[in-house]
Amino acid sequence: MKNKVMNPYLPLYEYIPDGEPRIFGDRLYVYGSHDYAGGELGFCPGDYMVYSTSVSDLSAWRCDGVAFSRKDCPLLDMEPGKDAMAAPDVVQGVDGRYYMYFNLNKQLCCQIAVSDKPEGPFLYYGEVVKQDGTRYEDFKMFDPGVLVDDGRVYLFTGFNMPGPVPEKFKNHFPPLPESSLGFELATDMKTIIRGPVSIIQGSNKAMGTSFEGHGYYEASSPRKINGKYVMVYSSELSHELAYAVSNAPLGVYEYKGVLVSNGDFGINGNKEQVMPYGNTHGGLVELDGRWYVFYHRQTHGIECSRQGCAEQLPILEDGWFGQAEITSCGLNQEPLPADGTYNACYCCYLTSPHISKKRLNIRECRRDTEPHIYEEKISDDESKSLHYIANMKDEVIVGFKYFEFREPSGFSLRLRGTGAVRVKAIIDEPEGQIVGRGEICLRGSDWNELYIVADKVSGTHALYFVFESQEPVQFESFTILND
């Protein structure tokens, strides 16, 4: 690794959720949907972008540009905010070309674009069809995931909600299936030759099965690993990616466990959220003998302004995956150096009595009442935007995992706001060892530095800052001092 890489792994001004990691040649590509800062236009209002990095240097991400533009999608409602180009997947077809599969918010069918190069640009190819050539629209083909295995092509889709089907879905779509669905496609990559086949039961049918409590919700992501077929999916809890394993592509699948929760629910028995949380979506990739899960987090106090993250997965005694802890390190492969300046938005822990215990929602923005990761645009150049945690008040705790400390002399926090602010620096746990305290009186629109003299700390530790302030504060960054 030539440089450190953190969560989120892309620039803070980029919002690429639903990340599907795919290795083509010597590069790792991430294909996802495209949100915007603030979420005013809802889920996925942008073009499909593609980012990639060398498999030998996970810190060297580059933007390969627009993979597939909204203007090139013939079935899309072009009015801003009225339609969504939701989570795509890309595989190399049996003819050597690269095929992108996706489903729109307002369409039932699964659409396809094709390119000679993994980075695109992709050109519209058509829709998944029945053998008579008509579009397959018996069910909404949401969140397509694709597997090419020994020259055979498999497509997986699905959307299943716990409880009664909402009226809006009854009125506008065919009945929602009670499970995710699998299909086999012809070598033309679009004609169904088998299916639909029930793959993973939704919550209403999961009772009494291995999937109970983790029934299917959305986000099918298939892989073949060690001769087995692995299905990653977002469970009925929505904040977690779970996985199931089968001996054949179209099942039968058995539940194996949770890979990651964007609220860190379940990790080490945790039952409390560590970040404001909402839906998640992602996939698996192996890099240099390590397995990683890609997922996303929420920002801006709303569900639909999401950023891609990744974590290394623990390997259990049976050789399968355990649940990953969400961290600030992500793809870094080792603790971050406790030296220099870090933006506060790389936090992996943000709690407060002001944050609702309910998941974030696209229909409810909570920026006015809750601490949140925020982007402030100051010019047309998005790379120059300010990024900070906004609406910090009493008892807000911000955490970062993990740093390799070598007895730093202190910390400097860059803050903006009005009134008295007191901050404690704590290591290991939110209520762990206090290693320093500081206070400052902020006086308006200028950024100020709050200094904390620290006890000598060495070794690998999580770092937390606990805030006390009657007025909302903005926290832009902190510097670890080693004078």
- Which residue has tokens 């979420």? 39
18 as an active site residue: the answer is: yes
Closest CA to 454 of 475, 473, 468, 433: 433
Spell out the long-range contacts of 253-256 with Cβ–Cβ below 8 A and sequence spacing 24 or more: 253/199, 253/200, 253/229, 254/210, 255/209, 255/210, 255/211, 255/214, 256/320, 256/321
Residue position matching structure tokens 């206070």: 439
Q: Which residues pair with 481 in a beta bridge?
A: 410
47 vs 61: CA distance, rounded Å: 19
Cα(113)–Cα(205) distance, rounded to whole angstroms?
34
Of 336, 354, 206, the closest CA to residue 276 belongs to 354
Q: Of the residues 18, 64, 83, 375, which is catalytic?
A: 18
Write out the two tokens for 198.
């029930």
393 and 352 Cβ atoms separated by less than 8 Å: yes
- The answer to whether 362 and 35 are in contact (CB under 8 A) is no
Cβ atoms of 103 and 48 closer than 8 Å:
no
- In the DSSP assignment, the letter for residue 170 is H
What does each C-alpha distance from 299 to 8, 180, 267 come to in angstroms? Answer: 11, 28, 21
> DSSP string spanning 371-409?
-EEEEE--SS-GGG-EEEEEEE-TT-EEEEEEEEEE---
User: Could you give the CA distance from residue 328 to residue 345 in angstroms, rounded to a whole number?
Assistant: 9
Identify residue 465 by its one-letter amino acid code.
F
Whole-number Å distance between alpha carbons of 201 and 191: 25
CA nearest 35: which of 6, 13, 57? Answer: 13
Which residue carries 């926090």 as its tokens? 413
Read off the tokens for 43. Answer: 């889920």
C-alpha atoms less than 13 angstroms from C-alpha of 402 in its C-beta half-sphere: 13
The residue annotated as part of the active site, out of 14, 35, 218, 264, is 218
Residue numbers annotated as active site: 18, 218
